[in-house]
Homo-oligomer: A and B are copies of this chain.
Amino acid sequence: MNFPVVPLGKPRGERADAARNREQLLAAARAMIAEHGTRKVTMDALAERAGLGKGTVFRRFRTRAGIFRALLDEEERRFQERVLSGPPPLGPGADPAQRLIAYGRARIAFLLEHHAIARAALDRAQPIPVGEVAMTRPHIRMLLGLSGSRLPHPDTLAVQLTAALEGPLLLYLSMDEDAASPAMEAAHPLAESWQTLIERVLQVDLPPEEA
């Protein structure tokens, strides 16, 4: 094929078919990942699979990592909806301690479930994308405030708990895929010790799988 290389300019103003192309590309990417994992998803292969021009793929995602970032953004939005308006204890309605534990457990499960996409979304020329749209710190801060626990510096404590939750996962995601691929159980030890951390910080004691 001698398709011309498209300069990586900004995408032009949204055309009428832009949203449809985007959906078509993301659906094709998801299908390719389901079949062969992330490795075979390249700009060229995605264009061919989606039946769209390479120029469309380049304008839309700019880099290979951009494909995975767009997939991860979609999943992040779905995750946020569960937190903001889904059933308790992740969603509103449960006790703040239970919600904090449920949030950490769900966040760990989310990043482990999507670890291949999140890892492929890491672009060494860019800041780590996970957490860009994340709500972790403000959500933790809000729940610390609602807990009624006397915490002298809730703002910095929220920063530290956010790092405690997200840091080990980002470290894990930045590891080599082969070193990190053993099957991820739901009861990951990070989720267990997150529960211990929150129980101790808020001085409550919940049964092991309350969340």
Q: Using CB atoms and an 8 Å cutoff, list the residues of chain A in contact with chain B.
A: 151-157, 159-168, 171, 189-190, 192-194, 196-197, 200-203
Copies of this polypeptide in the complex? 2
The answer to whether residues A152 and B200 also contact, given A164-B164, A168-B159 and a CB cut-off of 8 A, is no
Among residues of B, the one whose C-beta sits closest to the C-beta of A157 is B193
The SS class assigned to the A binding surface is: helix
| A193 x B153 contact (CB < 8 A) | yes
| A163 x B167 contact (CB < 8 A) | yes
Can you identify 23 A-B contacts, CB atoms within 8 angstroms? A151-B193, A152-B192, A153-B189, A153-B193, A154-B193, A156-B189, A156-B190, A156-B193, A157-B193, A157-B196, A157-B197, A159-B168, A160-B165, A160-B194, A161-B164, A162-B167, A163-B163, A163-B164, A163-B166, A163-B167, A163-B168, A197-B201, A201-B201
| A160 x B200 contact (CB < 8 A) | no
| B193 x A160 contact (CB < 8 A) | yes
Contact of A167 among B167, B190, B203 (CB under 8 A): B167
Among residues of B, the one whose C-beta sits closest to the C-beta of A167 is B163
Interface hub of A168, A171, A203 (most chain B Cβ within 10 A) = A168
| A193 x B163 contact (CB < 8 A) | no
Contact of A196 among B152, B163, B164, B166 (CB under 8 A): B152
Measured in the bound complex, the distance between the Cα atoms of B155 and A162 in whole Å is 18
